[in-house]
């Protein structure tokens, strides 16, 4: 699998220590060179030489003071400041963590006690993700950047992948444990502290996609890594402790519980029907939209919101290459799954046509979330989790790349908490009908869409209200790169 970026070869300071794929090979397609088809997977080298044009993505690999890797991604030619050194007096951190398996459920739990010391809600002028400036050195030595990725100083998973035996399972069936090998990276989406992903322009969003793709290609090649998980937590309600727009990439040494369940369901579906579960799922949702067959997009300037969508359709956006819909059994008040229409195992499998359409679709989706709870001209940023599911090693034939995007907000002033049923039994109770959520998400894509007046959200007739409280509160002792109880909880399923 080739990354979609070209290395900035000859950059002073470029080192690269991520392992297997290294950073010396200037491989991969460029932002504009790849054509439709299998170019990304085939590792097209078209224009690898003269690719430093506007529209092509270039990466520059360098190192922070404590030895952690820092990678800049730039559209076009990176400035020479990419090689600027990290002058902070940082001691190398020797993080250690272990994974333990729950003998009752089989779920792996990561124990990383060293993370208690991590940065927590720093003031804005001490943001570690802003570019460095005179007298104020951050994690990013450069005075500006487009997209930057670095290894987390307080990672949940640490230890060089490949240096430990895999799988990390001992003979004791009740106490399976192993080193928490893997890698945790922070992805800074933009140098603008006050922006949000939804504020990026399409070219910049494309740059983030290229960075995700590159990280997936590189990290999945590391020994012992089972799955590369790219995600974003947005909003203090989620437990985010750094306001700067950023996401994370975890190279996991195990298959997380939600993925394990999908593997099982896909196998059952294959056995019962002979077909792929995700293919059938996307086709079924698209079939609910008149005129939105796989080859026929329903286009509009704002995106691809189907204009003649039946009331009960769950489709939110039907693009030529991507489809977004509220899942039939949505767990969250507003939850959208986004799939490429052509099944691929991970980011590296996307072709250029799919990459080209992605920014418009994804930005449209995020902006709809921000309009869900607005009051007239006052948009209310929706706290959300954007979770990118990618096929783990060995399951590329059946698992499908897709996004699961959801907000914990139920109404303008109410949050969804994971309480007794969810946290205690992993049984979700959703107060918003998926079909209603889809209608709302279609409505807010239209210019001048009416804001919901509280509380128009209909509730499903039966079922207890799972909210445990009505005021936002810190969900846990979280941190530097942000975690969230529900994420952790969800990871157990």
Ranges within 424-443 binding Zn ion (CB under 5 A): none
Does 222 help bind Zn ion (rule: CB under 5 A)? no
> Is the CA virtual torsion 412, 413, 418, 421 positive or negative?
negative
Comparing CB distances to Zn ion, the nearer of 193 and 381 is: 193
- Judged by CB, which is closer to Zn ion: 246, or 331? 246
> In whole angstroms, what is the distance from residue 85 CA to residue 284 CA?
52
Question: Residue 99 is encoded by which pair of tokens?
Answer: 């994974």
* 3-class secondary structure, 131: strand
Closest chain position to Zn ion (CB):
127
Binding window for Zn ion (CB under 5 A); candidates: 124-132, 265-273, 339-347, 481-489: 124-132
Q: Under the criterion CB under 5 A, does residue 130 sit at the interface with Zn ion?
A: yes
Q: Alpha carbon 193 to chain centroid distance?
A: 19
DSSP per position, 8-71: -TT-TT----S-TT-S----S--TTT--TTTHHHHT--TTSSS--STT-EEEEEEE-TTS-EEE
Give dist(CA 465, CA 458) in Å, integer: 13
The smaller minimum CB distance to Zn ion, of residues 194 and 264, is found at: 194
Peptide bond into 455 cis (omega under 30): yes
Tokens of 83: 């090689």
| Residue 198 per-residue DSSP state | G
Q: With binding defined as CB under 5 A, does residue 100 bind Zn ion?
A: no
Q: Phi first, then psi: give them for residue 83, nearest 5 degrees.
A: -95, 5
The answer to whether 129 contacts Zn ion (rule: CB under 5 A) is yes
Rounded-to-integer distance, Cα 439 and Cα 255, Å = 34
Closest approach, Cβ 193 to Zn ion, in A, equals 3
Single residue of 193, 270, 342, 493 touching Zn ion by CB under 5 A: 193
Q: Can you tell me which of 215, 244, 337, 440 binds Zn ion, judged by CB under 5 A?
A: 244
Radius of gyration, CA atoms only, the chain:
22
Catalytic residue among 114, 164, 204, 246: 246
- To Zn ion, the closest distance from the beta carbon of 198 in angstroms equals 17
User: Dihedrals φ, ψ of 436, to 5°?
Assistant: -70, -45
- Based on the shown chain and the rule CB under 5 A, indicate whether residue 209 belongs to the binding site for Zn ion: no
Give Cα 9 distance to the centre of its chain: 28
CB under 5 A: which stretch of 64-72, 213-221, 239-247, 373-381 binds Zn ion? 239-247
Q: Which is nearer to Zn ion, 183 or 244 (CB)?
A: 244
Stretch that binds Zn ion, among 34-42, 46-54, 143-151, 240-248 (CB under 5 A): 240-248
Q: Is 402 one of the catalytic residues?
A: no
Q: Are 131 and 138 in contact (CB under 8 A)?
A: yes
Q: How far is the CB of 188 from Zn ion (least distance, A)?
A: 8
Which is closer to Zn ion, CB of 7 or CB of 232?
232
Element at 443 (helix H, strand E)? helix 434-443
Query: In this chain, which stretch among 243-251, 268-276, 314-322, 413-421 interacts with Zn ion, using CB under 5 A?
Result: 243-251
- Footprint (CB under 5 A) of Zn ion, residues 35-54: none
Minimum CB distance to Zn ion, residue 190 (Å) = 9
Q: Minimal distance in Å, beta carbon 242 to Zn ion?
A: 7
Cβ at position 123, least distance to Zn ion in Å: 10
Q: Which of 248, 233, 247, 236 is nearest to 474 (CA)?
A: 236
The nearest distance, CB 130 to Zn ion, in angstroms, is 3
Say whether 451 sits in a helix, a strand or coil.
coil
Report 312-341 residues binding Zn ion (CB under 5 A): none
Q: Is 127 one of the binding residues for Zn ion (CB under 5 A)?
A: yes
Number of residues located near Zn ion, criterion CB under 5 A: 5
Return the number of the residue (135 or 376) whose C-beta is nearest Zn ion.
Answer: 135
Answer yes or no: are the C-beta atoms of 317 and 366 closer than 8 Å.
no
Nearer to Zn ion, 239 or 257 (CB): 239
* Alpha helices (runs of H) in 221-325, residue ranges in sequence order: 257-273, 277-287
Q: Which residues of the chain form contacts with Zn ion (CB under 5 A)? A: 127, 129-130, 193, 244
Q: Which residues are part of the catalytic machinery?
A: 246
């Amino acid at each position: 699998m080739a990354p979609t970026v070209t290395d900035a070869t000859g950059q002073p300071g470029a080192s690269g220590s991520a392992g297997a794929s290294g950073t010396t090979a200037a491989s991969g397609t460029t932002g504009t060179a790849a054509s439709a088809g299998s170019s990304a997977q085939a590792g097209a080298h078209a224009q690898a030489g003269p690719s430093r044009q506007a529209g092509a993505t270039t990466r520059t690999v360098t190192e922070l003071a404590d030895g952690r890797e820092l990678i800049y991604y730039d559209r076009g030619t990176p400035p020479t400041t990419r090689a600027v050194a990290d002058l902070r007096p940082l001691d190398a951190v020797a993080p250690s963590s272990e994974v333990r398996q729950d003998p009752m459920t089989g779920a792996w739990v990561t124990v990383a006690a060293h993370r208690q010391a991590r940065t927590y809600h720093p003031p804005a002028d001490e943001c570690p993700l802003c570019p460095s400036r005179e007298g104020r050195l951050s994690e990013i030595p450069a005075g500006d950047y487009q997209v930057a990725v670095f290894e987390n100083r307080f990672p949940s998973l640490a230890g060089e992948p490949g240096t430990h035996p895999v799988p990390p399972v001992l003979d004791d069936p009740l106490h399976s444990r192993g080193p928490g090998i893997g890698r945790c990276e922070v992805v800074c989406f933009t140098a603008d502290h006050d922006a949000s992903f939804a504020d990026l322009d399409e070219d910049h969003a494309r740059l983030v996609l290229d960075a995700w793709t590159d990280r997936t290609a590189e990290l999945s090649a590391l020994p012992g890594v089972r799955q590369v998980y790219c995600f974003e937590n947005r909003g203090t309600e989620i437990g985010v402790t750094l306001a700067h727009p950023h996401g994370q990439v975890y190279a996991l040494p195990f298959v997380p519980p939600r993925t394990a369940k999908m593997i099982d369901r896909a196998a059952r579906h294959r056995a019962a029907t002979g077909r792929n579960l995700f293919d059938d799922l996307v086709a079924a949702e698209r079939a609910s939209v008149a005129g939105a067959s796989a080859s026929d997009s329903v286009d509009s300037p704002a995106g691809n919101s189907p204009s003649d969508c039946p009331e009960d359709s769950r489709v939110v956006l039907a693009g030529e290459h991507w489809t977004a819909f509220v899942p039939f059994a949505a767990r969250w008040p507003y939850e959208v799954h986004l799939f490429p229409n052509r099944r691929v195992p991970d980011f590296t499998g996307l072709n250029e046509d799919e990459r080209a359409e992605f920014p418009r679709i994804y930005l449209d989706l995020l902006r709809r979330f921000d309009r869900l709870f607005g009051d007239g001209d006052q948009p209310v940023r929706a706290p959300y989790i954007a979770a990118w599911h990618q096929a783990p090693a060995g399951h590329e034939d059946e698992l499908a790349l897709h996004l699961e995007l959801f907000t914990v907000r139920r109404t303008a002033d109410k949050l969804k908490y994971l309480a007794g049923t969810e946290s205690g039994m992993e049984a979700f109770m959703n107060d918003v009908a998926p079909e209603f959520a889809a209608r709302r998400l279609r409505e807010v894509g239209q210019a001048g869409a009416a804001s919901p007046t509280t509380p128009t959200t209909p509730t499903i007739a039966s079922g207890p209200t799972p909210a445990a409280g009505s005021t936002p509160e810190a969900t846990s002792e979280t941190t530097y790169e942000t975690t969230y109880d529900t994420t952790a909880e969800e990871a157990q399923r």
